[in-house]
Amino acid sequence: MKPLSIGQVAKRTGIRTSALRYYEEAGILPAPARVAGRRSYDPDVIRRIDILRFAQQAGFTLEEIKTLFRGFGTDTPLSTRWQRLAHTKLRELDEQAERIQRMRSALELSLKCGCVRIEECSLSPSSVSHANDGCRGSRCS
Amino acid sequence: MKPLSIGQVAKRTGIRTSALRYYEEAGILPAPARVAGRRSYDPDVIRRIDILRFAQQAGFTLEEIKTLFRGFGTDTPLSTRWQRLAHTKLRELDEQAERIQRMRSALELSLKCGCVRIEECSLSPSSVSHANDGCRGSRCS
DNA sequence: CCTTGACTTCAAGTTGACTTGAATATGTAC
DNA sequence: GTACATATTCAAGTCAACTTGAAGTCAAGG
């Protein structure tokens, strides 16, 4: 397929040109060929950028994503760094998911409940863990 | 109970004194009484700080937490702002949980798979949605 | 009395992930 | 050939959420 200008890449991915240049500078995206000084992107970059965004939304930092991209093809032994990162991140994702679930319960409870101040209600680490009787306010249902 | 110094509060909550001063400055924690110019905290503040940390870990910004704390006791009609925030945040939490789940699947899949480069594997929004055949690399199991 | 340690305020620095602005160059349309 | 959009680089600015440093205050122990 035809090469893309930075503006076209920006349009297709929803990422601003300034961010694309920044990613390149930071070594996260490869520097594309230049035609008369301008970036000329292989359309493959779109897929890579999609992955980048996806990983970012899942909570990876740009540094981590760089490692992810660097992959493990080049350096034997196979993939140890990448696997470590993946394992670590899996654990982090689980923890984050659990925190989110607890916050969810707490929020839902406090919406049903008529507490005047949030402190009276369920939003604390201790009370959320046994979340049925989290509410201690004056007008709890 | 007895009032606490800023150092004692820091020790009990695991939050640095600089952060406590910052929260006060930012209006997230109430300014405690001063005794000879020094902060003298009501032990209640511990609970509030616990909630603060919990909410923060669940992805709330300090601004949002401020709103959370401001609560809805004072201004009729009851709770509209706080409820809106809670609902919005619930939706956000759900989205984030889903992203995390998808990233989890993708990571697990790519650990099992022998792809040389991550692009070949499952880590993209499109392939993750039908994640059983996400791997397109050369040595996929 | 003097030192030590915990505190005070205020200003400035830090990190990650960008964005914005200035000055300049190139490509496309009329 | 002259606008105008789009591109370039580089430096500096932004934002949240703090941290660090400087300079000073205060109570208690030796």
Q: DSSP string of B60-106?
A: --HHHHHHHHH-SSSSSSTTHHHHHHHHHHHHHHHHHHHHHHHHHHH
Selecting from B93, B104, B128 the residue whose C-beta is nearest the C-beta of A103 gives B93
pLDDT higher at B70 or B137: B70
- Return the minimum-mean-pLDDT range out of B35-39, B40-44, B136-140: B136-140
- Which CATH number fits the domain A1-67, given the four candidates 1.10.1660.10, 3.40.50.300, 1.10.10.10, 2.40.50.140? 1.10.1660.10
How far is A107 from A36, CA to CA, in rounded Å?
56
Which residue on chain B is closest to A83 by alpha carbon?
Answer: B111
Q: Gap from A2 CA to C16 C1', in Å?
A: 34
Contact A47 B93 (CB under 8 A): no
Q: Which is it for the CA torsion B123, B126, B129, B134, positive or negative? A: negative
Domain boundaries, chain A: 1-67, 71-141
Q: Gap from B30 CA to D18 C1', in Å?
A: 18
- Structure confidence at residue B69 as a pLDDT band (50, 70, 90): confident
**The tokens of B2 are what?**
């007895």
- Of all residues in chain A, the percent with pLDDT exceeding 70 is 70
* Residue of A100, A105, A111 for testing the chain B interface, max B β-carbons within 10 Å: A100
Residue A29: per-residue pLDDT: 95
CB atoms < 10 A from the CB of A80, how many?
11
Q: Is a pLDDT exceeding 70 seen at residue B115?
A: no
Contact B50 A124 (CB under 8 A): yes
In this complex, is the C-beta atom of B89 within 8 Å of any C-beta atom belonging to chain A?
Answer: yes
Residue B10: per-residue pLDDT: 96
CATH code of domain B1-58: 1.10.1660.10
pLDDT < 50: residue spans in chain A = 72-74, 76, 78, 127-134, 136-141
Nucleotides of C under 7 A from a protein CB: 6-9, 16-21, 25-27
Q: Is a pLDDT exceeding 90 seen at residue B14?
A: yes
H helix or E strand, kind and range, residue A35: strand A33-35
In this complex, is the C-beta atom of B90 within 8 Å of any C-beta atom belonging to chain A?
Answer: yes
Q: Is a pLDDT exceeding 60 seen at residue B29?
A: yes
Residue A78: per-residue pLDDT: 45
User: Nearest nucleotide by C1' from A52 CA?
Assistant: C17
